[in-house]
């Protein structure tokens, strides 16, 4: 990826939550970030709640959590984030209401870049990983059809956040009964003159990476990793690439698929675990 | 301006080694970082003779009031650091303190020798305490080992040598006294406390390196006690650190006997935490005089 990232103002700043909406299993938080620049699609922010977050009680959550921006409407200070309550940090953020404050640092990292040659963009998302595809649709690819995978119908409600999505669900309660990678396989069999833009859980991204590699299709993958800081200080978010460990916060979160021998196995993501990024 | 081992500093707040990467931060924040640099001196991440890739992930686990890390000292090695990092770090608007670690006295001597020749470097900090690397524990946990190391390296340099003490030692003030007697210019403490976390799903160690170091407000009370004890054992200056989040936390370490205070884990939560603590501390001090 090129290093033409939009730079973050130095330090953490407060932003008021201006609205909150529920989409099935997800919560969308809108906040007014009057102190920062407009992010690029695929960039992320470190978020925490201004209150009850690592305060005097010393409880979790303590570290901010990394969120790819869902939307950043032009000509407005608004930033939108997609939150799923899966741990103490995401739980606290998901319960915020209009008038509460978040603390944020960003935009951070490098985002997506335009497709190579004359390739058509193809968006593939899974679960809460659909977030950066919405801003990608807004900023670069208004006509791209997103292929989205979800666990069940409650999560599939998140598909309303994108335009014209085709859906797969694990339990068959909405759209194709199966994996989003199966939708991708069918789509690539039909037309492989595409560049894939994908974000989702590791198993999904690995399936996307393998399928793209098999067909010689370039892919930009937005990865996730537990981060303490988001700006290269902690060295905690490294991912294994063909060239060794990369700090995902600095060199990613969007990584060209050909840099990866595989998307790291998800065995360290057991049900019930609440590691540092949840 | 205050004086620390002959180095003029604008305020008493610096960073803990390995908790702020000024080169990476400049990529994220641009030159705004230099215009409001949060620390009065910059301490590098540990440099070793050979390059290190660091420990396998996962490297982090959040605990109540802090985190456990097992990063494993990734760095470019001495020659990579000199060629690539030192020129960039020399552009920082504050004095540079290079943290070094060797797996033998010869290696530490090689590092001290190499940095002694560099005018960009104001002081050296010896990491004898990193709990992520087996041999780090040995040098810093024993007064005799620390004395032998310093007797080997102090004749090599005219630059201040700061010894970073490990809290994972039986008698920390004894190690501090041994370092002072063998020629250390200053001491810094505390490093992280060894800890671990289990994967809730499998019951196996979560961190790729099995154990890691605990930092953050969870260790603040321990840091205060160790700084207080060491300050009563030695005459040389002390850099106190451990869980500092607020100006009051910094003030407490100064009251316990520290001459400088380092901000570490709090910078992960707020990149400008050092500046916030320094400014708040300045206000407290101004209001009392």
Residue of B nearest to A270 (CA): B201
Of the candidates B91, B98, B133, the residue with the CA atom closest to the CA atom of residue B14: B98
State the first-to-last Cα distance of chain B, in angstroms, to the nearest integer: 16
The per-residue pLDDT for A265 is 61
User: What pTM was estimated for this model as a whole?
Assistant: 0.91
The per-residue pLDDT for A57 is 47
Cα–Cα separations (whole angstroms), residue A13 to A91, B98, B152, B212: 21, 31, 48, 30
The per-residue pLDDT for B138 is 63
Task: List CB contacts (< 8 A) between B58 and chain A.
Answer: 226, 268, 275
Residue B162 inside a domain? The answer is yes
The partner residue sitting opposite B33, judged by closest CB among A10, A236, A268, is A10
Residue B64 inside a domain? The answer is no
The per-residue pLDDT for B288 is 82
Of the candidates B184, B182, B49, the residue with the CA atom closest to the CA atom of residue B107: B49
The partner residue sitting opposite B54, judged by closest CB among A12, A48, A245, is A245
- In the block, which residue shows the tokens 């938080």? A29
Contacts of residue A59, defined as CB under 8 A and 6 or more positions apart, other chains included, come to: A88, B64, B65
Q: Count the domains in chain B.
A: 1
Task: List CB contacts (< 8 A) between A11 and chain B.
Answer: 36, 270-272, 275
Q: Give me the mean pLDDT over the A76-83 stretch.
A: 97
Q: Give me the mean pLDDT over the A49-73 stretch.
A: 84
DSSP letter for each residue of B45-76 = PPB-SS-B--PPSP-EEEETTEEEE-----B-
The per-residue pLDDT for A59 is 65
Q: Is B5 a catalytic residue?
A: no
Report whether A68 contacts A132 (CB < 8 A).
Answer: yes
- Helix, strand, coil distribution of chain A in percent, nearest 5: 25, 30, 45
Distance between CA atoms of A260 and A252, rounded to whole angstroms?
12
Q: pLDDT category, A52, cuts 50, 70, 90?
A: confident
Interchain pair B66, A11: CB under 8 A: no
Cα–Cα separations (whole angstroms), residue A135 to A30, A32, A123, B247, B251: 14, 16, 11, 39, 45
The per-residue pLDDT for B282 is 92
Interchain pair A231, B216: CB under 8 A: no
- Give start and end residues of each alpha helix (H) in chain A: 88-94, 131-139, 153-156, 180-190, 202-215, 248-251
Q: How many CB atoms lie within 10 A of CB A85?
A: 16
| Topology adopted by domain A13-108 | Elongation Factor Tu (Ef-tu); domain 3 (2.40.30)
The per-residue pLDDT for B64 is 87
Q: Please confirm whether the linkage preceding A253 is cis (ω < 30° from 0).
A: yes
Kindly state whether A243 is in contact with chain B, defined as any CB-CB distance less than 8 angstroms: no
Put simply, the chain A residues between 20 and 49 with a CB less than 8 A from any chain B CB are 48
Task: List CB contacts (< 8 A) between B19 and chain A.
Answer: 233-234
Q: How far is B142 from chain A (nearest CA, A)?
A: 28
Distance between CA atoms of B89 and B96, rounded to whole angstroms?
7
The per-residue pLDDT for A276 is 52
pLDDT beyond 70 at A277: no
The partner residue sitting opposite A228, judged by closest CB among B29, B67, B202, is B67
Q: What CATH number corresponds to the domain at position B231?
A: 3.20.20.70
Residue B204 inside a domain? The answer is no
pLDDT beyond 50 at A270: no
3-state secondary structure of A195: strand
3-state secondary structure of A269: coil
- In the block, which residue shows the tokens 């998302």? A125
3-state secondary structure of A177: strand
Interchain pair A276, B67: CB under 8 A: yes
Task: List CB contacts (< 8 A) between B202 and chain A.
Answer: 270
Kindly state whether A62 is in contact with chain B, defined as any CB-CB distance less than 8 angstroms: yes
Distance between CA atoms of B225 and B172, rounded to whole angstroms?
11
The per-residue pLDDT for B131 is 43
Interchain pair B29, A233: CB under 8 A: no
Residue B65 inside a domain? The answer is no
State which H helix or E strand residue A254 sits in. Answer: strand A254-256
State the first-to-last Cα distance of chain A, in angstroms, to the nearest integer: 27
| Topology adopted by domain A120-267 | Rossmann fold (3.40.50)
Q: If you count residue pairs, one on A and one on B, with CB atoms under 8 Å apart, how many are there?
A: 151
Residue of A nearest to B273 (CA): A11
Distance between CA atoms of B4 and B239, rounded to whole angstroms?
10
B268 in the Ramachandran plot: left (φ > 0), alpha (ψ -120 to 50) or beta? alpha
Q: What is the pLDDT of residues A186-224, one digit of tens each?
A: 999 999 999 999 999 999 999 999 999 999 999 999 999
Distance between CA atoms of B135 and A103, rounded to whole angstroms?
40
Mark the ranges of chain B whose per-residue pLDDT is less than 50.
130-137
Cα–Cα separations (whole angstroms), residue B262 to B36, B91, B166, B240: 17, 21, 15, 6
Triad A242, B28, A245: Cα angle to 5°: 20
- Among B47, B59, B77, B262, most A C-beta atoms within 10 A, so best to mutate, is B59
Task: List CB contacts (< 8 A) between B271 and chain A.
Answer: 10-12, 105, 229, 231, 233
Task: Provide φ and ψ at B261, rounded to 5°.
Answer: -130, 135
Residue B137 inside a domain? The answer is yes
pLDDT beyond 60 at A143: yes
Distance between CA atoms of A231 and A237, rounded to whole angstroms?
10
Interchain pair B32, A7: CB under 8 A: yes
Q: How far is B76 from chain A (nearest CA, A)?
A: 12
Where in chain A do CATH 2.40.30.10 domains reside? Answer: 13-108
Distance between CA atoms of B259 and B241, rounded to whole angstroms?
11
Report whether B247 contacts B275 (CB < 8 A).
Answer: no
The partner residue sitting opposite B200, judged by closest CB among A11, A235, A270, is A270
Token duo for residue A85: 């309550």
- DSSP type of residue B84: I
The per-residue pLDDT for A117 is 84
3-state secondary structure of A120: strand
- Among B26, B31, B57, most A C-beta atoms within 10 A, so best to mutate, is B57
Q: Which residues pair with B13 in a beta bridge?
A: B261
Task: List CB contacts (< 8 A) between A35 and chain B.
Answer: none
Task: List CB contacts (< 8 A) between B24 and chain A.
Answer: 231-233, 247, 250
């Amino acid at each position: 990826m090129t290093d033409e990232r939009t730079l973050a103002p130095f330090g953490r700043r407060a932003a008021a939550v201006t609205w909150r909406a529920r989409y099935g299993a997800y919560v969308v938080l809108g906040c007014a970030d009057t102190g920062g620049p407009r992010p690029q699609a695929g960039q992320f922010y470190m978020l925490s709640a201004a209150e009850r977050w690592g305060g005097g009680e010393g409880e979790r959550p303590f570290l901010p959590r990394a969120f790819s921006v869902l939307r950043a409407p032009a000509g407005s200070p608004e930033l939108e984030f997609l939150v799923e309550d899966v741990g103490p940090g995401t739980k606290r953020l998901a319960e915020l209401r209009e008038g509460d404050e978040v603390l944020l640092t960003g935009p951070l990292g490098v985002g997506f870049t335009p497709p190579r040659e004359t390739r058509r963009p193809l968006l593939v998302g899974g679960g809460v990983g659909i977030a950066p595809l919405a801003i990608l649709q807004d900023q670069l690819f208004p006509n791209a059809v997103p292929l989205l995978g979800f666990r069940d119908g409650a999560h599939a409600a998140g598909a309303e956040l994108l335009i014209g999505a085709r859906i797969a669900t694990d339990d068959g309660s909405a759209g194709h009964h199966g994996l989003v990678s199966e939708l991708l396989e069918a789509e690539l069999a039909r037309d492989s003159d595409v560049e894939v833009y994908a974000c989702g859980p590791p198993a999904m991204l690995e399936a996307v990476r393998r399928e793209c590699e098999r067909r010689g299709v370039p892919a930009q993958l937005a990865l996730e990793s537990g981060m303490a800081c988001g700006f290269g200080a902690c060295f905690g978010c490294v991912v294994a690439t063909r060239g060794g460990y990369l700090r995902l916060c600095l060199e990613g979160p969007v990584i060209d698929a050909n840099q990866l021998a595989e998307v790291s196995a998800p065995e360290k993501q057991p049900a019930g675990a609440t590691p540092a990024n949840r | 301006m205050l004086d620390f081992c002959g180095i003029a500093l604008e305020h008493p707040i610096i960073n803990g080694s390995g908790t702020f990467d000024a080169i990476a931060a400049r990529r994220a924040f641009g030159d705004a970082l230099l215009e409001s640099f949060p620390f009065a001196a910059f301490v590098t991440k540990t440099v070793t003779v050979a390059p290190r890739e660091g420990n396998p992930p996962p490297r982090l686990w959040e605990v109540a009031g802090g985190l456990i890390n097992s990063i494993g000292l990734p760095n470019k090695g001495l020659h990579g650091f000199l060629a690539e990092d030192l020129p960039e770090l020399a552009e920082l608007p504050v004095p540079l303190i290079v943290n070094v670690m060797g797996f033998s006295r010869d290696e530490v001597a090689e590092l001290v020798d190499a940095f002694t020749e560099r005018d960009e470097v104001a002081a050296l900090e010896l990491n004898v305490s990193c709990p992520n690397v087996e041999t780090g524990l040995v040098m810093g946990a024993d007064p005799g080992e620390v004395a032998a190391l310093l007797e080997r390296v102090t004749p090599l340099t005219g630059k201040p040598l700061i010894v970073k003490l490990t809290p994972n030692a039986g008698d920390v003030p004894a190690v501090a006294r041994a370092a002072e007697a063998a020629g250390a210019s200053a001491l810094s403490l505390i490093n992280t406390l060894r800890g671990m976390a289990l994967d809730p799903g499998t019951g196996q160690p979560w961190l790729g390196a099995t154990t890691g170091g605990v930092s953050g407000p969870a260790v603040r009370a321990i840091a205060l006690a160790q700084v207080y004890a060491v300050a009563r054992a030695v005459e040389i200056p002390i850099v106190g650190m451990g869980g500092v989040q607020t100006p009051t936390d910094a003030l407490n370490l100064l009251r316990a006997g520290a001459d400088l205070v380092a901000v570490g884990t709090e910078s992960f939560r707020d990149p400008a935490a050092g500046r916030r603590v320094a400014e708040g501390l300045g206000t407290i001090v101004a209001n009392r005089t």
